[in-house]
Structure formats: C-alpha cells, structure tokens
Amino acid sequence: MRSIGKTSSKLNDWDNAWDTVSANAAGVFVASRCHWGIILLLTGWVWSSSLGTGPGLAQTPPEIPAANRVYRPLPLTPGDLVKDALSDKDIPTGKGSFARDYLVSLQKGDQVAIDLTSENFDTVVTLMTLNGSTLGENDDGPDGGTNSLLFMRIPQSGSYIVRVQAFGQAKGGKFNLGLTRLEPAGVR
C-alpha cells in the first residue's frame, strides 16, 4: 500500500494499473483501473504514468481554474443596492459569458422585485433555489432595454441564489443589483 497525499492506492508491480483508489477524507471510494499515459486528478494531486520513467507523483498541484474553486455566493441584503462588476474571473456559463451569484434570505410569501442594470452588457437575472433549480429568470425588462427586472413570490422561507449574468457571449462589466421586498398597496 502506497500513500499519496490525501489518497491511497495499491499498485500492481508489473501491470502498472490502479486496482483501487480511496478518493478523499470524506469517505468517497472510487474503484478504477488506469494504465500508462493516464493522468488522474485526485483531490488536488496529479498521479501520472510515463513510458520513460514509470509512475510518479507531481508534487505541485496544478493551477485550479476559477470554475473549480470553492463556490461562495456573495451576500445580498434586501433593500440594498449592490454596485459590482462581472468579469472573466466569475462563473463560466458555458455559453461564452460569465455569472456571479448572490445569497439572499427570504420568507414564504415575500413578493420581491429584482432589478439588474448595466451600461456595459445585456443583463440576465435568475432566482434559483440552493440546489440550482430556476424559480424565475428575466432577460429584458418592461422598458424595452437590455436591463433585467424580475418579479417573484417566494414559495417557502429559506436562502436563495440571485444570479447575475451577461446575455450571449458578452464578457460583462459594471452593474447595479437590487432586491426589494414589495408590500401590497395600503399596507404600512
């Protein structure tokens, strides 16, 4: 048994194949068989096999792309105006643009307006559950421009994600984001 960083492996001496790999400290177990020329990414380490030198471990973890970094949505407080910027350092959407997420706590029955404006890009605003299910999305608001305005009634109390993204392949720029709790007329 040979220990490698956070992982352990059993290596067949002549076959140079992995019989089993215990993937991480959380108890995830992966069974696999990998042969020469295969590079596996395991919890930040790279195990590589080379025809010239045999199996080896790269001691320096590779640069982790922004998409693989720890996900931490920024806090959003209802009633506050967020002035921020969207860039290529944010979450890639897979459509050529990027997104930035905000975490907000809302109550069942809240009626909210989410307003996203930018002079730099065509905005899209999305309200999602923590598991990524979309509750509502708006591309262009009622003014006919490229800013976004989304009205929603919250189905249950809890935390939600407000996603800011650029439409199409726009890279982003500065934006303003606001979430307002609406009150029925005559209530104060």
Domain membership of residue 187 (yes or no) is no
* Average confidence (pLDDT) over 151-156: 96
On whether both 112 and 169 belong to a single domain, the answer is yes
Domain extent for 8: 2-58
Which of the four pLDDT bands, split at 50, 70 and 90, describes residue 154? very high
* Average confidence (pLDDT) over 62-87: 82
Q: Which pLDDT does position 50 carry in this prediction?
A: 36
On whether both 42 and 78 belong to a single domain, the answer is no
On whether both 12 and 96 belong to a single domain, the answer is no
Please say if the pLDDT value at position 73 is more than 80: yes
Mind listing the pLDDT tens digit for each residue in 89-145?
899 988 888 999 999 999 999 999 999 999 999 999 999 999 999 999 998 877 778
Phi, psi of 111, deg, nearest 5: -105, 125
Q: Which pLDDT does position 65 carry in this prediction?
A: 62
Mind listing the pLDDT tens digit for each residue in 16-71?
333 333 333 333 333 333 332 333 333 333 333 334 444 444 445 455 565 566 77
Q: Which pLDDT does position 30 carry in this prediction?
A: 37
Domain membership of residue 80 (yes or no) is yes
On whether both 165 and 72 belong to a single domain, the answer is yes
On whether both 105 and 140 belong to a single domain, the answer is yes
On whether both 34 and 112 belong to a single domain, the answer is no
On whether both 126 and 172 belong to a single domain, the answer is yes
On whether both 70 and 95 belong to a single domain, the answer is yes
pTM over 0.95: no
Mind listing the pLDDT tens digit for each residue in 2-26?
334 443 333 333 333 333 333 333 3
Domain membership of residue 134 (yes or no) is yes
Please say if the pLDDT value at position 171 is more than 60: yes
On whether both 70 and 141 belong to a single domain, the answer is yes
On whether both 175 and 83 belong to a single domain, the answer is yes
Q: Which CATH number does the domain housing residue 174 bear?
A: 2.60.120.380
Domain membership of residue 142 (yes or no) is yes
Higher-confidence residue of 157 and 65: namely: 157
Tell which of 17, 33, 58 closes a domain.
58
Provide the domain count of the chain: 2
